[in-house]
Structure formats: structure tokens, C-alpha cells
Copies of this chain bind each other. A is one copy, B any other.
Amino acid sequence: MPAATSALAPASRPPAASRRQSRYAAVREQTAALCRPLLPEDTVVQPIIDVSPPKWHLAHTTWFFETFLLQEHLPGYRVFHEQYAYLFNSYYNSLGSRVNRADRGTLSRPPLADVYRYRAYVDEHMQRLLATVGDDEAAPFAAVFELGLQHEQQHQELLVTDIKYILSTNPLAPAYWTDQPAPVASATAAPAATWLSVPGGVGTIGYQPAAGDAPGFCFDNELAAHPVYVADFRLQNRLVTNGEYLEFVRAGGYRDFRPWLGEGWELVQSQGWQAPLYWVERAGEWLRFTHHGLQPLDLAAPVTHVSFYEADAYAHWTGARLPTEAEWELAARRFAPTLDPAHFLESNRFDPAPLPADAAPGRCHQLLGSCWEWTYSAYHPYPGFDKAPGALGEYNGKFMINQLVLRGGSCATPASHIRLSYRNFFHADKRWQFTGIRLAQ
């Protein structure tokens, strides 16, 4: 970067650079803010392979900017540490060997302080880079920059869920929030669910800026938008609640194989599942672990931390079923939910909120935020899907097998990260995300 240009940069800096700089800073700060209540010790451990140490998240998101932007676009950039690429590459075969995923929790070094130094170093260079690149949103730089931010937001959600898991396995049941009171459980039940009818036919799903989707960014797995045929169907106007799910538990839902898929029933038996993850029965009362430690179960709040198997078994037990991905998106487009920050990461609630007793029965609630909603659709490529060349082609495509699509975002998703066309995906047995249930018929 010639010095002359650099000296002139502030004056001539286009608005895009400024917007990018502040957006970058805000996203990065959000990540740091999530880790601030943690002790260094909390940032190291990995109780199960799905859960990464917070220290790793902090570094890996930084490595992403360093690898795909600074090394590509900032002339003369020198990496912060030669071995961090080995330590903090997640799964990119294109970028060489790396620490086994299962061994992330064995690494005490670099210490947290060094990881923060790494972040500061990369942030400083990113700000320099952002000051110099042009305004062209269609340039390759712009796409990868946006991807880096979205990627960091995905890891923010993982930080919330991984921290919860880490603290939950500790016999001390420590709270993440130590300076604010836990929400009080609802005094009244949730309003009864109603069924909303959706007429069938050919509709279009996938990312469609022309049809109202916010322009600017989507993941490759949301493309191409394409027609699908669905029959008439009905969807419940809210998520299934803890109270409703507790009836299933009490009715022996975890002791009767009939509503379960075969592989789900095997898990129930081999893992000893008796309730959703984090539920604990103490002296006849049900508690559950939250970011405030163990708290009473709020019967009016959406049930969460259920696997697909549990969601499907519950739906069968009620005589209903889970929606398909296409049904969910077509219904969501029809009911046009508003995006309420109270249901997202920014609320710092980290728990799906109960529906108010006076919620309008004719509207479709909790479609965005609250809980990821399991669909009975495999995470497979859309027609015409094509993965990017190079390492970023490994971002989504290679996972398109043996996972199910979840829709709508959760209380741990940044509000600016969600879209109606957004496709999240997990294996059917996973429970540590904020996953919930919406019934269809």
C-alpha cells in the first residue's frame, strides 16, 4: 500500500469504507463482549466434540479474516504467528493439516491474552485494509468480507451455546450472568396454540431479493431460489411449550418406543434420555440449566434443546408432524413475521421468551428468533447449487448429508444474521443448540 495513498485515505475514503469499518468493529466487539464474563479457565475446555473452547472461537474467527482477506488483499501483511493456521483452521482441507477437532480442549496455549493480542493485531490490519478498498459491492473482496462477518456471527451463536454446555457439565452449575437477575418464570400458561391454514400449490423458496429478501448477502446453500410444490397444510401459530412437552415426559414418552424413529429410540436407551437436555428433576420439581444457572422450568416458554428425534416423537405423539423446509419457508413468507430483537442474541436473554398471554391467536408467532425449528427435510443442495471454487467451497457444500434443516434462528442468533431463506443444519441427535418444535398437519 503506497504511503501517498494511505495519507490521502481519510479524506477520500468512500462511505462504503466507513460503513464497513464500523460494521466490522461492531461485529468483532460483539464476540468479545460475549466472552467478557468468562474466566481464562472457561475458555479452554471442550467437554464434548461438538463444543469448542471459547478461546478457539475467538481465534478461529480471527484466522478467517487473516487467511481469506489480509493474506489475499493487504500487501505486505505478515501473519501474527506461523502456527496459528495449524491451530485455528476448523475444517478446510484446502488449507492443509490442522489440530484434530476432538483435541481442541487439550491446548492450553496460546493463552487467552495472546488470543486477544491476535484479535487486536488482525483488527488493526483489517481496519487499514478496509480503509483502502473501493466501494464495489460486487468485487470479490466485498463478498468475502461479508462472509467473514456472517461467519463470525455464526460463531457468536456457537459461543452462547458452547459456553452454556461448558458451564452445565460442571457440578458447581455456575452462572454465566452473575450481575443480573434471572427472568421470573411465567405466572400464566401460554395462550393455546391455534392452527393456521396455508393453501398449497407451486411456490418459490430460496433467497429472493426481488421478492422482498434483504439484498446483499446470503449463503450459497440458499441458492438457487426455485419453485416447489406443496399440498395444503396447517401450521401451529406458536412453538410447543415446556408445559406441553412436560405432558409428553410425564405420559412416559421416553419409555414407549412407538412414537420414535428407530435410531432415536436407540439413543433414548443408550444415552438414558429422559427429558430435553438441561432438564433436571429435583425432589419432584423440574429445573433446567440456563445462563443464570439452574432455574425453574417456565411452562409457558418454548421447549428447547430437543433433538430432531425428540421433536419428531413429540409431534407423532400429538398426532401431528413436523413441517418440511418448503412448508416452513412458504408459510413464513405468507405470514411475514417482524424481526423482534427481544428474541435474538442482542437481548442477552439467551433463552426463548414465553409468548405473552394476549398474543394475537390469528398471527404466526416466534417464526424468527426464539428457537431453531426442526424441519423434516434433509440438508441437501438446492437445484442448481454450486459451491465456490477453492477453500471457501468447503464452507457449506461438503456437509450436505445426514443433517436436517432448521429454520428461523434462535435467541442466540444475531438479529442481523437471519433471513427467511436461511438454512441451518444439524445432525438429528444434536441437542446443545436452541432447537424447538413447531407442529404441522
Contact = CB atoms under 8 A, between A and B. Distances in A.
Contacts of A59: none
B229 A42 contact: no
B428 A402 contact: yes
Contacts of A94: 258
A399 B258 CA distance: 13
Given A40-B40, A202-B202, A202-B229, A45 B107 contact: yes
A53 to B, nearest CB: 9
B400 A261 contact: yes
A186 B129 CA distance: 51
Contacts of A308: 401
A105 B103 CA distance: 12
Q: Which of A46, A380, A401 has the most CB of B within 10 A?
A: A401
Interface string A422-435: 00000010000000
Q: How large is the interface on A (under 10, 10 to 19, 20 to 34, 35 or more residues)?
A: 35 or more
Copies in the complex: 4
Contacts of A384: 231
A209 interface: no
A296 interface: no
A108 B265 contact: no
Contacts of A44: 41, 44-45, 108
A378 interface: yes
Contact of A170 (B108, B260, B376): B108
A99 interface: yes
Contacts of A83: 171-172
A180 interface: no
A400 B401 CA distance: 14
Contact of A401 (B41, B110, B261): B261
A226 interface: yes
Contacts of A86: 171
A105 to B, nearest CB: 7
A367 interface: no
Contacts of A103: 47, 169
A338 interface: no
Contacts of A401: 261-264, 308-309, 428
A91 B91 CA distance: 37
Contact of A41 (B99, B108, B172, B376): B108
Contact of A402 (B43, B171, B381, B402): B402
Contacts of A309: 401
A398 B258 CA distance: 9
Interface of A: 39-47, 55, 83, 86-87, 91, 93-94, 99, 103, 105-112, 166-167, 169-172, 174, 202, 226-231, 257-258, 260-265, 308-309, 321, 376-378, 380-381, 383-384, 394, 398-402, 428
Q: Which 9 A-B pairs have the closest CB atoms?
A: A378-B378, A47-B106, A262-B398, A229-B229, A42-B108, A41-B108, A93-B257, A40-B40, A39-B111
29 contacts: A39-B40, A40-B40, A41-B109, A42-B108, A42-B109, A42-B111, A43-B108, A45-B107, A45-B108, A93-B258, A99-B171, A103-B169, A106-B170, A107-B170, A109-B170, A109-B174, A202-B202, A227-B229, A229-B229, A261-B398, A261-B400, A261-B401, A262-B394, A263-B402, A265-B398, A377-B378, A378-B380, A402-B402, A402-B428
Given A47-B103, A230-B383, A261-B399, 4 more contacts: A39-B108, A42-B111, A376-B381, A377-B378
